[in-house]
Amino acid sequence: MEQQIEQQSPLEGRKYDSDKPEYGLIPPFALEELAQVLTIGAKKYARENWRHVPESERRYFDALQRHLWAWKRGERFDPETGRHHLGHAAACLFFLYEHDTGHAATAF
């Protein structure tokens, strides 16, 4: 039995990506703030320094809480960096995720 091959018009494009993550769903302003915070950290310490911080889970959890509670008290911007506390909290949360899942050791 012959397999029927679906003919596609040369003017009709297709891409089978319905089961793939949609990175366009990430809120763009939050992502930009995260990138701003990470850039400040890279300049202050070093790129990828977060991967090598001793006791990283405890320290990033503590930092996450400090930024969240500063925001909760009404302080929107970190006095040291001038960036939004929630951007700093997001960075800490991302670092915690990478450490918790074992991806912190994988540099790209």
Tell me if 58 is assigned to some domain: yes
Section 18-32 average pLDDT: 95
| Residues counted in the chain | 108
Any domain includes 55: yes
Section 68-86 average pLDDT? 98
Distance CA 79, CA 86 (A): 13
Residue partners of 17: CB distance under 8 A and separation at least 6: none
In a domain, 83, yes or no: yes
Question: Per the domain annotation, does 11 fall within a domain?
Answer: no
Number of domains, the chain = 1
In DSSP terms, which residues pair with 77 in a beta bridge?
A: 84
Contacts of 36 (CB under 8 A, 6+ apart): 83, 87
- Residue 49 counted as domain residue: yes
Residue 2: predicted pLDDT? 56
* Residues whose CB falls within 8 Å of the CB of residue 10, separated by 6 or more in sequence, listed in order: none
Q: Of the given ranges (13-22, 58-67, 94-103), which has the lowest mean pLDDT?
A: 13-22
For residues 28 and 47, what is the distance between their CA atoms, to the nearest angstrom? 22
Kindly state the average pLDDT of the residues 80-87: 98
- As to burial, measured by CB atoms within 10 angstroms (0-12 exposed, 13-18 middle, 19+ buried), residue 94 is middle
Query: Quick one: pLDDT at residue 65?
Result: 98
Region 40-51 average pLDDT = 95
pLDDT at 7 over 70: no
User: Mean pLDDT of all residues in the chain?
Assistant: 91
Tell me if 2 is assigned to some domain.
no
Task: Tell me how far the alpha carbon of residue 99 is from its chain's centroid.
Answer: 13
Share of the chain above pLDDT 70, in %: 90
Q: What pLDDT is recorded for position 15?
A: 85
Q: What is the mean pLDDT of residues 65-93?
A: 98
